[in-house]
Amino acid sequence: MNTDRQPLIQLEGIIKRYKNLTAVNGVNLAVYPGEKLVIIGPSGSGKSTLLRSMNFLEEIDAGVIRFEGREAGYVHRHGRLHLDRQQVVCPLRAEIGMVFQHFHLFPHMTVLGNVMEGPLTVQKKPVPEARAIAYDMLAKVGLSDKRDVFPATLSGGQKQRVAIARALAMRPKLMLFDEPTSALDPELVGEVFDTIHALADEGMTMIIVTHHMGFARELADRVIFMDGGVFVAEGTPQEIFDERMQNERIRTFLSRII
């Protein structure tokens, strides 16, 4: 698929070990511009770790990460892989937006302040420009009226939409969503889902780790089922969901989720 184009991000043989657990065990993955990839799998299957390693929040033990075709973020020292200096890593992260399960909004800044923070501090944009970007992004997630409040006053769904706006304000090439709806009350999932859906329709490249099967069915070009640190199955939503009886593990997992 898409072999004529260069992958936006490409992982080769990614291995991440914790003390006595191999969370990610030799994963290969290529994500192309505009693609919407959903990773599903049981808890502890390594999907979050994999996602976080794409943003260099997890330091991998082996493997290569290529961003826009170039090897990115690591140096070899004493025969081991080390995360590169922050002068190298930070600009890479600035091109990749990340949305966390628990939002992690900056509680001491207003909603507007949260969204302006990236352009202002990281991209060193002047205040009027950063503010204009933030206004746009808050309008996009439908929270223009909440600009001047502090995050503590928002609902979970609103917080997550602000977090999405905050990431989008950096004009990222790739958006990573780490279980974006898992911490939300069921009635609030819809608004966040709609926001992500709208973003997908704009052509944003995104990788979503989720337990929410609606994402996979409605959004995904491709679904990966991960378990035990490896990809167990990979395919279109139809292939994964309709032919799930093919694989015992997928069947068990999906029967628990759905």
Partner 1 sequence: MQKTFSRVATALLFLWMAAAVVFGAAADPDRLTRQANELMGQGDLAGAVEVLKQIPPPAGGGEGEAFVRSRLQIARLHFSLGEMDKALAAAREVLALYPDNSEAKNFVASVEQEGQPRYVTFLKDCIRFLPALAKGAVMTLLLVLCTIVISPIGGLLIALGRLSTFRPISAACWFVIWFFRGTPLLLQLFFIYYGLPSLGITLSPLTAAVIGLGVNYSAYLGEIIRGGIQSIEHGQMEAAKALGMTYGQAMRRVIIPQTYKRLMPPIGNEFIALIKDTALVSTIAMVELMRAADQLFNTYFNVTALVLAAIVYLVFTTVFTFIFEKIEYRAGIYEHR
Q: Which residues contact partner 1 (rule: CB under 8 A)?
A: 55, 57, 86-87, 90-98, 100, 102, 104-109, 117-118, 121-123, 150-153, 163, 166-167, 170
- CB of 138: closest distance to partner 1 in angstroms? 16
Q: Which residue has the tokens 């260069």?
A: 6
Which of residues 177 and 225 has its CB atom nearest to partner 1 in the complex? 177
- CB of 163: closest distance to partner 1 in angstroms? 8
- CB of 256: closest distance to partner 1 in angstroms? 27
Q: Report the candidate in 177, 197, 232 with the shortest Cα–Cα distance to residue 52.
A: 177
Cβ-based burial of 228 (10 A; exposed 0-12, middle 13-18, buried ≥19): middle
Tell me phi and psi for residue 76, to 5 degrees: -95, 125
Which of residues 148 and 248 has its CB atom nearest to partner 1 in the complex? 148
Which of residues 108 and 251 has its CB atom nearest to partner 1 in the complex? 108
CA distances from 198 to 8, 14, 35, 98, 189 (A): 21, 31, 14, 17, 14
Which of residues 71 and 106 has its CB atom nearest to partner 1 in the complex? 106
* Cβ–Cβ under 8 Å, residues 240 and 216: yes
Whole-angstrom distance, CA of residue 114 vs CA of residue 106? 6
- CB of 26: closest distance to partner 1 in angstroms? 25
